[in-house]
Amino acid sequence: MPAVYDFIARELRRRLTASATCLEIGCGAKQYRPFVPGRYLGLDLATSPYLKEAPEIIGSVEAIALPDASIDLVFGVGVFCLVADVVLAFRECRRVLKNGGKLLIFDYQKKTLDRLWEVDRQSQHRWDFQELRDELCRAGFQRSAVLDITAATCWRGQGILGTAKAASYRLGIVAGTWLVCEAAA
């Protein structure tokens, strides 16, 4: 089973209710399905090497086969950096979100993407928060509705490690790798 990051699972549980509908972009093995209390829909390409079972929606994030304003929360883990036309993808995410719905992007920090690029050259984008926010704004999200929630997301619940020093160390590793962004429709 692919890795499940506790901070991602925690954010999904915290933000979703049993009546919510959630769409995971690039769902692969659907490892985050158990953390969605409401209706879960997974979207992925038919050619994805990570599929363990068929996704609910086979297709591209650049053309989501769902009606307008039908989803409460859309999220993707390490996937948007791989999308060629990310502005079109973000427009599609915004289109399917209900008014007030959220897009959560769990992607990699620019330094991490630079290192990954040296190894596999799959990333289409290597961005920091400002560059990611600019792409979201080009897709129609309001600048004031796009937030960098990396520190708050990665810090929440880390104190259970025992000491503030240990929690701070873990935050440095997690926040140094991940970029977490929220965009409200």
- The tens-digit pLDDT sequence of the chain (185 residues) is 678 888 899 999 999 999 999 999 999 999 999 999 999 999 999 999 889 899 999 999 999 999 999 999 999 998 998 898 999 999 999 999 999 999 999 988 877 666 655 556 565 667 789 999 999 999 999 999 999 998 888 754 443 333 444 343 344 444 467 889 999 99
* Per-residue pLDDT, 76: 97
Angstrom CA distances, 99 to 94, 136, 177, stand at 9, 16, 31
Third-level CATH fold of 6-184? Rossmann fold (3.40.50)
Tokens 């560059």 belong to: 131
pTM as predicted: 0.85
Cβ neighbours of residue 172 under 8 Å, at least 6 residues apart? none
